[in-house]
Structure 1
Amino acid sequence: MATPLVLGPMLRYVDDTSASIWVETRADGVVSVHADGRSWQARTFAVHGHHFALVEVDGLEPGSVSPYSVEIDGVRVWPEPDSQYPASVIATRAPGRRSRIAYGSCRTSVPHDRSGNRTHGVDSLRAFALAVADGREARPDLLLFLGDQVYADSTTKEMQEFIRSRRDIHEEPGKELKDFEEYAHLYQLAWSDDANRWLLSSVPSAMIFDDHDIRDDWNASLDWKKDIQATSWWHERIVAGLASYWVYQHLGNLSPRERAADEMWQQVTGRRDGASPDLTAVLDAFADRCDKDPDSYLWSYSRDFDGTRLIVLDSRAARDLTPSARGLLDAQELRWFDDHMRGGFRHVLIATSLPFLLPLGLHHVEAWDEAIAQGAWGRPAAWVGERLRRAFDLEHWGAFQNSFQAVAGIATELADGDRGPAPQTVTFLSGDVHFSYLAEVERQSGSRIVQAVCSPMRNPLPRFLRWFSVVMSYGAATPMGAAAAHSAKVPDPPFRWKTVKGPWFDNNVALLVDGPDGLTMTWHTGVVEDGDELHPRLEEVASITVPAERDATVSS
Structure 2
Amino acid sequence: MSTGTTPAGLGPETAQGLLLGPMLRHVDNTSASIWVETAMACTVEVRCGADSWQAATFGAHGHHYALVEVSGLKAGTVRPYTVHLNGKRVWPIEDGFPDSMIATLDPAKEPRLAFGSCRTSVPHDEAGNRTHGVDAMRAYALSMAGLEHGRWPDLALFLGDQVYADSTSLEMQEFIRRRRNIKEAPGEELKDYEEYAHLYSLAWSDPANRWLLSTLPSAMMFDDHDIRDDWNSSLEWKREMQKTGWWHERMVSGIGSYWIYQHLGNLSPDQRAADPLWRRIAAHTGTGELDLTAELDEFAERVDAEPESHSWSYCRDWDAVRLIVVDSRAARTLDPGRRALLDPTELAWLDGRMRGGFRHLLIGTSLPFLLPMGLHHVESWDEAISSGSRRSLRGWLGERLRRTFDLEHWAAFQSSFQEVARFATEVADGKRGPVPQTVTFLSGDVHFSYVSEVERQGGSRILQAVCSPIRNPLPRFLRYFAAALALGPAVPFGAWMASQAHVPNPPFAWSGIKGPWFDNCLAIIEATGDGLEISWVTGVVRDGDHMHPRLDTVEVASLRARGDHTHSPES
TM-score (norm 2): 0.95
Is residue 152 of structure 2 the alignment partner of residue 129 of structure 1? no
The Cα shift of 1:380 comes to 2.0
The answer (yes or no) to whether the contact 2:33–2:265 under 8 Å persists in 1 is yes
CA distance in 2, matches of 1:298, 1:338: 14
After superposition, the C-alpha distances for 1:283-333 in whole angstroms (9 at most, x for unaligned) are 011001101100100000000012000000100100010111100000000
After superposition, the C-alpha distances for 1:446-498 in whole angstroms (9 at most, x for unaligned) are 10000000000000011111111112332322111100100110000000000
Q: What's the secondary structure of 1:325's corresponding residue?
A: coil
Is residue 477 of structure 2 the alignment partner of residue 464 of structure 1? yes
Counterpart of 1:542 in structure 2: which amino acid? Answer: E
1:379-418 residue pairs with structure 2 within 5 A?
Answer: 379-418=392-431
CA distance in 2, matches of 1:414, 1:193: 42
Q: What's the secondary structure of 2:291's corresponding residue?
A: coil
**Match of residue 444, structure 2, among 416, 419, 431:** 431
Q: What's the secondary structure of 2:156's corresponding residue?
A: strand
The Cα shift of 1:551 comes to 5.5
Q: What's the secondary structure of 2:342's corresponding residue?
A: coil
The answer (yes or no) to whether the contact 1:68–1:87 under 8 Å persists in 2 is yes
Task: Using the TM superposition, name which of 94-103 and 214-223 deviates more.
Answer: 94-103
1:503-522 residue pairs with structure 2 within 5 A?
Answer: 503-522=516-535
Q: What's the secondary structure of 1:500's corresponding residue?
A: strand
The answer (yes or no) to whether the contact 1:446–1:550 under 8 Å persists in 2 is no
The Cα shift of 1:259 comes to 0.3
The answer (yes or no) to whether the contact 1:33–1:41 under 8 Å persists in 2 is yes
**Match of residue 5, structure 1, among 6, 18, 26:** 18
The Cα shift of 1:548 comes to 2.5
CA distance in 1, matches of 2:359, 2:76: 21
CA distance in 2, matches of 1:313, 1:219: 16
The answer (yes or no) to whether the contact 2:356–2:434 under 8 Å persists in 1 is yes
CA distance in 1, matches of 2:530, 2:548: 33
**Alpha carbons of structure 1 residues 222 and 514: separation in structure 2 relative to 1, 3 Å:** same
Is residue 554 of structure 2 the alignment partner of residue 547 of structure 1? no
CA distance in 2, matches of 1:352, 1:36: 38
| Overall identity of the aligned pairs, in % | 64
CA distance in 2, matches of 1:321, 1:262: 26
**Match of residue 148, structure 1, among 161, 166, 170:** 161
CA distance in 2, matches of 1:215, 1:9: 27
- 1:189 aligned residue: 202
After superposition, the C-alpha distances for 1:322-380 in whole angstroms (9 at most, x for unaligned) are 11110000000000000001111000000000000000000000000000000299822
- 1:98 aligned residue: 110
**Match of residue 373, structure 1, among 357, 382, 386:** 386
Q: What's the secondary structure of 1:237's corresponding residue?
A: helix
The answer (yes or no) to whether the contact 1:376–1:488 under 8 Å persists in 2 is no
Counterpart of 1:15 in structure 2: which amino acid? Answer: D
The Cα shift of 1:444 comes to 0.7
CA distance in 2, matches of 1:111, 1:139: 26
Aligned residues: 551
- 2:51 aligned residue: 38
The Cα shift of 1:274 comes to 4.5
**Match of residue 301, structure 2, among 284, 288, 296:** 288
CA distance in 1, matches of 2:343, 2:219: 22
Q: Which runs of 4+ in 1 moved over 4 A?
A: none
The Cα shift of 1:103 comes to 0.6
CA distance in 2, matches of 1:509, 1:143: 10
Structure 2 unaligned regions, length at least 5: 1-11, 566-571
After superposition, the C-alpha distances for 1:183-223 in whole angstroms (9 at most, x for unaligned) are 00000000001111111000110000000000000000000
The answer (yes or no) to whether the contact 2:46–2:68 under 8 Å persists in 1 is yes
1:65-214 residue pairs with structure 2 within 5 A?
Answer: 65-80=78-93, 82-137=94-149, 138-214=151-227
- 2:6 aligned residue: none
The Cα shift of 1:430 comes to 0.2
The answer (yes or no) to whether the contact 1:370–1:385 under 8 Å persists in 2 is yes
- 2:506 aligned residue: 493
CA distance in 1, matches of 2:231, 2:472: 19
Q: What's the secondary structure of 1:324's corresponding residue?
A: coil
Counterpart of 1:526 in structure 2: which amino acid? Answer: G
Counterpart of 1:420 in structure 2: which amino acid? Answer: G
Counterpart of 1:87 in structure 2: which amino acid? Answer: D
1:258-297 residue pairs with structure 2 within 5 A?
Answer: 258-297=271-310
- 1:527 aligned residue: 540
The answer (yes or no) to whether the contact 1:522–1:541 under 8 Å persists in 2 is yes
CA distance in 1, matches of 2:375, 2:280: 45
The Cα shift of 1:550 comes to 3.9
The answer (yes or no) to whether the contact 2:486–2:516 under 8 Å persists in 1 is no
What value does the CA root-mean-square deviation take over the aligned residues? 1.2
- 2:3 aligned residue: none
